[in-house]
A = this chain, B = another copy of it.
Amino acid sequence: MEKMRENDGKDTAVQVRDYQTELEQIMRSNVSPRVLKDRISDYHENDIASSFEVLTRDERERLYRILDAEQLSDIFEYLDNAEIYFEELNARKKVEVLSCMEVDQAAALLKRLDKPERNMLIDLIDNESKRDIAMLESFDEDEIGSRMSMNFIEIKAGISIREAMRELIDQAAENDNISTLYVTDDNHTFCGAIDLKDLIIAREGSKLDDIIMESYPYVYAREMIEDCIERMKDYSEDSIPVLDENNKIIGVITSQDIIQVVDDEMGDDYAKLAGLASEEELNEPIRQSVHKRLPWLIILLGLGLVVSSVVGLFEGVVAQLTIVICFQSLILDMAGNVGTQSLAVTIRVLMDENLDGKQKLGLVFKEARVGMCNGMILGILSFICIGAYVVFAKGMTPFFGFSVSACIGVALLLAMIISSISGTVIPILFKKFGVDPAVASGPLITTVNDLVAVVSYYGLTWIFLIEMLHLAD
């Protein structure tokens, strides 16, 4: 199986490359435009798009002349950095391509052009696209409305199956998302949806009302993406209508949009957990990467100084019993690790479900208990290991060694319990006060945990080892 998988892997890898080179060869062959167009049209837009990078500018411009605006717009929707190639089009083509593109894609592309050109193009494109783009841009990027597509089939309530089928065929030429038809009343208020499948297998005689799903899910354009994304995933429909405040349908979120949103949201969470301002691309200029990471690092440095000054308070303890500094990093790291685990769990939970106060409290207790279980196991482990280490590696008396390691074990237990609690409580509080927990929690938790760890560790050392057992060097 391993072997076969290898092959499959290669096969497809080869194919993907092939497309590029095949297209390269086709473009370099000098056949008539007509033939060229036919040959090119045999390829998937995504493959044509990915062949752009290997083609020369002349070859691309030949392509632009040969393909019509409809085909080009499909290709441009697949390009990662469309704006670069878009510049190569002449003004007329630019306008045509923009008008043919999905509105959300067109809007995104326009954003990445420089202002004068953008305004020029917006003037030139047809009024419908203009209106759609304006509507799309009226939403903040964290509102679901900013992700919707205006490309859907709308039919009036109360028509017959045959009329609905006719409507579908008329509108299908214009709109791609035909798997669900949306039923509205005379003032476009959303009444329900029809699964295309049901329409196709419906008998001539039967009434349209019988196949309308009144309970079809929907979202409001002004809802925050993070608030409705889970709901949209749960219903697992191919497309979900987006309504304005008057329950008029103004667009749809297709499953492709949902894939995009899920990908973005989780990618951002991931980046934030790692202390990055946002997800980074491979070919990003250094300046930008520095800019994305520096703010966190500076905050962390400041917080680090706070920890340092607290450690400073225990300088006396260390001076009397230098061996304890060996294990400071251990306690701090472990506290940090446990805190991060709780943080990650809490953030995913906060993201996925709406918890009431009781559940939140339950979560905190659960994390505390988990921290305690792990803390006990690790505390005992380190009591034994570190004790042995001090005795054999450092050549101290067993009494000394195991008093030190006992002290470390207890400090570890304390630090881990408190870290798990702070790792849960802090993000919950941030969420409550409307701060994105994924961003703000990380650094604060590291600091809190470091402080807790330092105080409990050196505090215990001082009381237990120095004051009680008089183990000072």
Contacts and interface: CB of A to CB of B under 8 A. Distances in A.
Given A259-B262, A274-B343, A234 B143 contact: no
Interface in A168-182: 168-169, 172-173, 176, 178-179
Given A9-B227, A169-B200, A305-B385, A290 B322 contact: no
Contacts of A349: 282
Which among A7, A216, A223, A370 has the highest number of chain B CB atoms within 10 Å? Answer: A370
Contacts of A294: 374, 377
Interface string A334-354: 101110110111001100111
A461 B428 CA distance: 41
A336 B279 CA distance: 19
Contact of A4 (B228, B245, B270, B298): B245
A400 interface: no
B330 A325 contact: no
Nearest to A219: B12
Interface residues of A, number: 131
Contacts of A162: none
Contacts of A454: 329
A457 B267 CA distance: 34
A130 to B, nearest CB: 22
Contacts of A274: 273, 340-341, 343-345
Contact of A234 (B78, B290, B327, B374): B78
Contacts of A309: 326, 389, 393
Contact of A341 (B231, B236, B276): B276
A161 interface: no
A251 B87 CA distance: 41
Interface stretch (A55-63, A64-72, A112-120, A312-320): A312-320
Contacts of A340: 274-275
A16 interface: yes
A172 B196 CA distance: 10
A43 interface: yes
Contacts of A322: 315, 318-319, 322
B275 A337 contact: yes
A307 B325 CA distance: 11
A296 B340 CA distance: 12
Interface string A363-375: 1001001100110
A44 interface: yes
A96 interface: no
A28 to B, nearest CB: 19
A200 B179 contact: no
A347 to B, nearest CB: 9
A282 B363 contact: yes
A340 B349 CA distance: 23
B275 A266 contact: no
B227 A280 contact: no
A330 B344 contact: no
A267 to B, nearest CB: 7
Contacts of A394: 312
9 contacts: A168-B200, A266-B270, A282-B363, A297-B374, A307-B329, A311-B326, A315-B326, A328-B329, A332-B333
Given A173-B201, A286-B369, A309-B393, 17 more contacts: A8-B245, A16-B231, A47-B215, A78-B234, A179-B196, A259-B259, A267-B348, A274-B343, A275-B340, A289-B366, A296-B337, A305-B382, A308-B386, A311-B326, A312-B326, A315-B326, A336-B336
Interface of A: 1, 4-5, 7-9, 11-13, 16, 19, 42-44, 46-47, 78, 140, 143, 168-169, 172-173, 176, 178-179, 196-197, 200-201, 213-217, 219-220, 222-224, 227-228, 231, 233-236, 238, 245, 255-256, 258-259, 262-263, 266-267, 269-271, 273-276, 279-280, 282, 286, 289-290, 293-294, 296-298, 300-301, 304-305, 307-309, 311-312, 315, 318-319, 322-323, 325-330, 332-334, 336-338, 340-341, 343-345, 348-349, 352-355, 359, 363, 366, 369-370, 373-374, 377-378, 381-382, 385-386, 389, 393-394, 446, 450, 454
